[in-house]
Amino acid sequence: MTEALQGTVRKRLFIGLIAGTCLLVCALLAMLWVVPYVGLRNIHPSAPWVLGVILGALLLLVLWASAGLLLSVVLPWPLPLARRVRGVTVKLLVPMMSLLGRTLGFSKEDIHTSFIKVNNEMVLRELGRYEPSRILLLVPHCLQNSRCEMRLTHDVDNCKRCGLCPIFGLLELRDRYGVHLAVATGGTIARRIVVEKRPKVIIAVACYRDLSSGIQDAYPLPVFGVLNERPFGPCLDTTVPLDNLEAALLRFLKA
Ligand code: SF4
């Protein structure tokens, strides 16, 4: 399957799961109002309507976010309130969508990859271009050759540039474009780096699982995700297509 076709399939999976999630949540909210209706009337005659207004507002929020999200995936231009739609998607819809997807038998990898694909499209539409100092390239330590003893998490310049792993190529990209480059061993270090560098956009490299959770943790900061390649399995001597990374950098860099 070509990469473009894979992208379309992932997008369709995401659209289908979001539409299903939206329907389920709306049905659940309607039930939450109908089922206790009689009991609430005994407490106070207007109690069912107070609950109805609250649940109605939630229902409208879910419908608005789902419709906004589906439109932002389908339309080629950015919608008003695109950032808010991304927020509701990341914080509310994706956890529910993952649950629905797993129940329907889709693999975690398919679900997370479809989310990363759609997130990237939303980020591309929403964001402009920035000075190099406001762009952070955040990569995982598993890109480092497993036999290399240099400590890179505190200072990536400890790399001796021997060329045995992709860190060498990443340093070249950093030097060519003047962006920040950091190696993180986990979420805590990644958060510290983000606080220190204060980027406007993060271009993050990781596996589907870490990228998906990183995108959710970092919100409202936008994260453009690039999947790493794992020829030796997870977390060992992984690689990254540097061409894809350079193309992403050029998209966000001010000319
Ligand atoms: S390029 Fe060489 S020195 Fe640098 S991290 Fe990779 S293996 Fe270590």
For residues 245 and 188, membership in a common domain is answered with yes
pTM: 0.81
Give the separation between CA 3 and CA 18, rounded to whole angstroms: 22
Same domain, 120 and 136: no
Ligand 1 center–CA 152 separation, angstroms: 9
Retrieve residue 196's tokens: 């220190």
Atom index in ligand 1 nearest the CA of residue 160 equals 3
CATH code at position 214: 3.40.50
User: Within this chain, do residues 153 and 209 fall inside the same structural domain, yes or no?
Assistant: yes
Domain-terminating residue out of 124, 155, 170: 124
- The pLDDT, as a whole number, for residue 229 is 95
- 119, 137: one domain: no
Mean local confidence (pLDDT), 172-185 = 95
Q: What pLDDT is recorded for position 249? A: 96
- The confidence band for 4, taking pLDDT boundaries of 50, 70 and 90, is low
pLDDT tens profile 62-101: 787 777 777 777 777 666 666 777 777 777 778 888 888 8
In this prediction, residue 2 carries a pLDDT of 67
- Whether 164 and 237 map to the same domain: the answer is yes
On the question of a cis peptide bond just before residue 222, with omega within 30 degrees of 0, the verdict is no
C-beta of 160 in contact with ligand 1 (< 6 A) = yes
- 215 lies in the same domain as 141: yes
User: Token digits for 157?
Assistant: 């310049």
Q: Report the pLDDT averaged over residues 52-64.
A: 82
- Judge if the beta carbon of residue 211 lies within 6 A of ligand 1: no
Ligand 1 pocket, residue 247 CB under 6 Å: no
Same domain, 109 and 148: no
**Best probe residue, ligand 1, of 141, 142, 154, 165 (max atoms within 8 Å of C-beta):** 165
Whether residues 50 and 67 fall in one domain: yes
Are 151 and 63 found together in one domain? no
| Residue that terminates a domain, selected from 76, 91, 124 | 124
Nearest CA to ligand 1 atom 2: 162
The answer on pLDDT for 38 being more than 80 is no
* Ligand 1 centroid – CA 136 distance (Å): 20
Same domain for 144 and 120, yes or no, is: no
150 CB near ligand 1 (under 6 Å)? yes
162 CB near ligand 1 (under 6 Å): yes
3-state secondary structure 106-119: CCHHHHHHHHHHHH
Range of the domain at 206: 132-252
| Domain-terminating residue out of 97, 124, 151 | 124
Q: How far apart are CA 116 and CA 176, in angstroms?
A: 27
Predicted pLDDT at 227: 95
Atom of ligand 1 nearest to the CA of 145: 7
Q: Does residue 66 share a domain with residue 156?
A: no
- State the pLDDT at residue 43: 72
Domain count, the chain: 2
Same domain, 87 and 186: no
